[in-house]
Amino acid sequence: MSTQAADVPHRMCIIGVQHGHPHLFHSLYHKTNSVLSLSADEKYVYSGSQGDDVLVWDKSTFSLKTTLRGHTGSVLALEYASERKWLFSASGDSTIRVWSTETHAPLFILHPHFDTDAGDLFSLAWSSSSSTLYFGCQNTSLQWFTFLPNLGHPPHQQGAPTHQQVLDKALQEAGIASGTATPRRVHKFFDSYPQYTRKPADLEARNPTASSSPSPGLTTPATGGTCLLQPNVQIPLAIIQIPPKNVIWSAHYGYVYCMALSPSIREGSDDQGGIGSSLRLVTGSGDATVKVWDVNSAVPSLQHTFDCGEGAVLAVVVRGDTVYAGCQDGYVKVLDLETRTLVRTIIVNENIDILSLSMLQSDLYTCSANGQVQRFSATFDLTASWPAHSGIILSSIITHVKLSSGKGGRGKAVLVTGANDDFIKIWDIDPPPKKQPDIEELQRIGPESQPDLSDDILVYALSKFISIPSVSGCLSYREHCRQAAIWLRKCLSQLGAEASLLPTGDTTNPLVLATFRGTQNKRKARRVLVYGHYDVIPASPKGWSSDPFTLYALNGYLYGRGVTDNKGPIMAIACAAAALLRRRALDVDLVMLIEGEEEAGSKHFAQTVKQHKETIGPIDAILVSNSTWISESTPCITYGLRGVVHCQVKISSGGPDLHSGVDGGAAREPMMDIMKLLGTLVDDQQKVTIPSFYDDVRPLTAEERQLFKVLSGVTQTPASSLSAKWREPSLTIHEIEVSGPKNSTVIPSTVQARLSLRIVPDQDVEEICASLQDHLKSKFGDMQSRNTLEINISHTADWWLGNLDDPWFAALESAIRDEWGVEPLRIREGGSIPSVPYLEKEFSCHALHLPMGQSTDQAHLPNERMSLCNLQKGQAVVERFLTSVKDL
């Protein structure tokens, strides 16, 4: 719960570049041919050349094993299908060739749909789940072909049909011609000769010209005629023509330069998939857009289009729900697939093309036209930068090779880069360090502590949740916040909820919306909305006895930032719903709405809820668990919160800072003015002097007076002090900032103060804001100062008071009593939760507040903790409550 100023200033946490870059392990020379594309399998690295060939390099000896010949144009893209042992190569000759990676023999030639020439084929993506190859074309079309299971696999059993028989049958079932196909039609643009030759367009226009370097085994007769294949160029088994049903015309308004599948299946990826099990194709184009296609049916359907600004999208990679798009302007656009927002722009090298991207787990490697490779961490910090080539880097992949330092069966991860300097370079790289703890790390428990926790779903899930430093008040943690939202959505889905993310803006963290659906009866189920927040405040290691972002169990307590505020209660409530769901005892709909900006002022929360109100659905009651008891031993139920007004007051001279030895006594000092002005806000008895400030404060009732007397005995705190903290308004001055170097000889030209007002029933927040501003302006006018005054109300939140006579309140109080065996204390709190009164008004129902932690939980402080007993009993209380309210 945010009890401090909600307008938390963003702090940029700078992480310096690690100047050491990966070691160059080996270089491969391409013999005066630019390296346009790369791929790899377990044994070989494959490189596509500008000179029409695919070169095969042995991983163990780094020598040239063989050359795959057949293309008559530059090899622009390569794709490996591991389960088929196939290599796909796409070319500027407008064909795709399929090769066996076991025999290196050609298997098939794919021609794009013949009604119009596709031009250069820039990009490939293979889906192993559907055995479908997708490719992007120069003519802006997206095309695909699905291979039958038996296609290309020779039989091994004696007496089985021959390979040719199996092939012919499979081709016949697929409607594919074997051996030859209808010739591709001549295209007047793509098959044209230079104008000075005065030759009509024909298919031979695609053959190598006199100025190019023909591949060995392929000749172009000087007298024209047919392209001659030398004996070492093998004939493929079949020629496949893409049918018209497998084409999306004008998939983009530019060349389709790049594509990737989500979830990613490439080496180095730890991609566990995005939303559900849905397979998506991501394409990037010269039209400066990235498009997302649903490819779970026969024909891809467009889901969303991202506008990446100006310049072509030249490279894409995908990890989870995140797309990284490398652009012509030298930027990488980071796109969120679920919320469909631009979450970050990484400036790599301004106005220098990014032509290739590769990922090793969460590390992003960018390859640019200036020969530079840069590495970015999961939080988009630049961690390495080095000149990798003397030319334009055109391609890159992550693969594994057996280096001398390699351990294990797969060998060592390497980054392979190819450029127009005719070199392939192999860089020894390491995966990013693992930061999330395993369940074994929870077992750091002494002999005096609680029993083994390894089978506790609640504790295990909380350990993962705590390990994500979702600090909303620091810009450098913004990606952590998004990853926390993604993790929470996946976690709640695994627990049985229907979960999704709701975007709040390009620069703010999404909401997590999850619904645990109860048993559907004839009577409409009650719907309870749970509000919480997954963001936390910063946690400097100073003062902590353990890592703030690793759950640490000791003497019955769980330690970690956010464990009590508010990640622990969120997981307890989610596990309560999951437990009831497993027992088929959940008879209400539990809707969880978890935000990621509570500690930073709940920016755009209300706007987002209003926008998605229909998706959230009708609500009968609101449950909040975002505070603590007032003692260590007695459970509580909270029925009141104060509201808050945050204000900045600034006084400026309009001139520069001055020297007190030169201008002291002659200048009207802004610091003097602001001190006098702030002094008019309270009197000697600490009463707020703003006119009419106390007029609408609700009087203390006899019942409340008796309650405070009881609570005074429990807390050993005077009743008057409890009343002052919980139900009386107050004013606090938090800080004063000055311009200049803060030297004792400087007269600052600008002074700014931050202050807050806590308001209570029945004060009106708008009237209080107006009265505060009127008072400050009036008092400043009385000073007759030539300085200027500025007042800014940065944030407000209304007070909240629960209905003690409401049956929902009675049900929650009863659940606490039954679980703990004692009567819960009814308490109020002096802090504010801005979203609670808003949600009450928006959904026209009452809110309930269940504190789970103890008074010594240290929320917002070092060694934040929560009792394991409180956490488990909190889950049990929620289970009792949800069971009891089904008939309300």
Question: Which contacts of 125-132 are long-range, i.e. CB under 8 A and separated by 24 or more positions?
Answer: 125/79, 125/259, 125/260, 125/261, 125/281, 126/79, 126/80, 126/81, 126/88, 126/261, 127/261, 127/279, 127/295, 128/81, 128/82, 128/83, 128/265, 129/279, 130/279, 130/295, 131/84, 132/295
Distance CA(77)–CA(138), nearest Å, equals 13
Q: Is the peptide bond before 431 cis (omega within 30 degrees of 0)?
A: no
User: Which residue bears the tokens 């999404």?
Assistant: 510
Distance CA(804)–CA(509), nearest Å, equals 34
Q: Within 790-846, where are the H helices?
A: 807-820, 835-843
What is the three-class DSSP state of 835? helix
DSSP line for 215-284:
PTTEE--TT--PPEEPTTSPPPSEEEE--GGGEETTSSSS-EEEEEEES--STT-----SSTT--EEEEE
- State the burial class of residue 886 (Cβ atoms within 10 Å of its Cβ: 0-12, 13-18, 19+): middle
What is the three-class DSSP state of 57? strand
CB 27 within 8 A of CB 423: yes
CB 286 within 8 A of CB 257: yes
Q: Is the peptide bond before 762 cis (omega within 30 degrees of 0)?
A: yes
Interacting residues of 308 by C-beta distance below 8 A, sequence separation 6+: 284, 288, 289, 290, 325, 327, 333
Q: Report the run of H or E that residue 661 belongs to, with start and end.
A: helix 660-663
Which of 421, 456, 535, 599 is flagged as catalytic?
A: 535
Give the CB-side neighbour count of residue 344, counting CA atoms within 13 A: 22
146-182 exposure pattern, b = at least 16 Cβ within 10 A, e = fewer: ebeeebbbeeeeeeeeeeeebbbebbeeeebeeeebe
CB 561 within 8 A of CB 469: yes
Distance CA(476)–CA(733), nearest Å, equals 29
In whole angstroms, how far apart are CA 158 and each of 84, 164, 169, 423? Answer: 22, 15, 19, 46
In whole angstroms, how far apart are CA 458 and each of 455, 464, 820, 878, 882? Answer: 9, 10, 19, 14, 18
Catalytic residue status for 598: yes
Which residues, in sequence order, are bridge partners of residue 273?
none
Catalytic residue status for 535: yes
Distance of alpha carbon 886 from its chain centroid, rounded? 36
Distance CA(118)–CA(95), nearest Å, equals 9
Which of 93, 117, 598, 704 is flagged as catalytic?
A: 598
Distance CA(845)–CA(888), nearest Å, equals 13
Question: Which contacts of 210-219 are long-range, i.e. CB under 8 A and separated by 24 or more positions?
Answer: 212/51, 213/32, 213/33, 213/51, 214/51, 214/52, 215/51, 215/52, 215/53, 215/67, 215/69, 216/67, 216/69, 217/69, 218/52, 218/69, 218/72
In whole angstroms, how far apart are CA 587 and each of 245, 363, 498, 524, 582? Answer: 48, 45, 16, 10, 12
In whole angstroms, how far apart are CA 800 and each of 137, 610, 722, 842? Answer: 60, 20, 17, 14
**Residues annotated catalytic, as ranges:** 535, 598
